[in-house]
A and B are shown apart, each in its own frame.
Chain A
Amino acid sequence: MLGACERPETPMTGAGFETLKALIVEDNAHMRSLLRALLNSVGIREIAEAGNGQSALALLRERKSDLVLSDLAMKPMDGLEFTRRVRNDEHSPNPFVPIIMITGHTEKYRVQAARDAGVTEFLAKPITAHNLFSRITEIVERTRAFVRCDNYFGPDRRRHQLDDYAGPWRRQDDFQQEVDVR
């Protein structure tokens, strides 16, 4: 675990970012440094780092995190397993935390695996500030419902609601049973 949060002197944006706590899960030190610098530039100052999913889970238990940026391929625990554990573990400190999966593995089956693990957004490397910020904007502006099924818990994987959709329906009570977990 790399752990420690740093609070660099960055200007206040007045946008609430300065109160956020972020967690970067990435095995490459240069990529961690780049992501930290980009988060700093929007005013996020409290950033913890972990080198793999296992260390990240331990960090999540120790400190609150409002936003997680995670790599996919890491050892001993990769980003997919990390995401599944965050979403599904009985003792997960925040199963609803937004997780942005950042990876160079952009093959369709890997994107689908990330989605099915419960990631909130997927970001392909190479990283640009624009792409990272657009994913954070998506989280901020288009908050999604969470779905709990027999074999899935995570953000609703259906991004679009078609008014004239006539099925097939896969859920017994599609959008009928709403619960409050606050």
Chain B
Amino acid sequence: MKDAPRQSCQIIAPDAYPQMLSRQNAARASETLRSAQTALKAQAAMEAQVPAMRTAILGYAEELENARGDMALVFEKAHEIRGFAETAGLVTTGRIADILCRYMDDMERIKKPVDAMIVALNVAAIARAARTEDGDVAVGEKVAAELAALVARRLADANQA
């Protein structure tokens, strides 16, 4: 095997630059990070954020619906939703937003225009899931699975074209 071109390089060992914590504190910090007490505190902290996050997601969903035709804005809002929908307990909403973001990202990478119908279907599904997910998980999951399959087919077609 032929070696790659070599370049000069300097290694700075961990002991040779300032660390975030001293060794003694690092051991205690590890215990804190792994402790059940910390996990409980963190869970409570996250739960306290959920109502505000859900309100925000509903706002993003509305902006998403109103962004028709502005694909940059659609991507931006879908990206915001996928960022914390699941953290707010809206798993299906986050999943569909992820499907849409990946679709738009992949189409951009292969330099093909997005299919407006695919985008519209996903946008409608995201908005519906955000508003109804708590009482309608089964339908949301089925819709997400169908959309994932549809997007996968369209991406395969686009890659072959």
Q: Who on chain B is nearest to A127 by CB?
A: B87
Given contacts A34-B87, A40-B45, A141-B30, contact A16 B18 (CB under 8 A): no
Taking the nearest CB of chain B, how far is it from the CB of A23, in angstroms? 12
Q: Are A149 and B9 in contact (CB under 8 A)?
A: yes
Main secondary structure of the interface of A (DSSP, over half): loop
Give complex CA distance A134, B30 in Å. Answer: 9
Residues of B within 8 A of A30 (CB): 49, 52-53, 56, 84
Q: Are B20 and A107 in contact (CB under 8 A)?
A: no
Q: Are B20 and A139 in contact (CB under 8 A)?
A: yes
Give complex CA distance A96, B13 in Å. Answer: 11
Q: Which of A159-182 contact B (CB under 8 A)?
A: 167-182
Main secondary structure of the interface of B (DSSP, over half): helix
Q: Are B12 and A129 in contact (CB under 8 A)?
A: no
Count of A interface residues, CB-CB < 8 Å? 64
Q: Which of A128-149 contact B (CB under 8 A)?
A: 128-130, 133-134, 136-137, 139-141, 143-149
Residue A42 is within 8 A (CB to CB) of chain B in the complex: yes
Residue A111 is within 8 A (CB to CB) of chain B in the complex: no
Query: Footprint of A on B, CB under 8 Å?
Result: 1-14, 16-22, 25-26, 28-34, 38-39, 41-46, 48-49, 52-53, 56, 79-80, 82-87, 94, 98, 101-102, 105
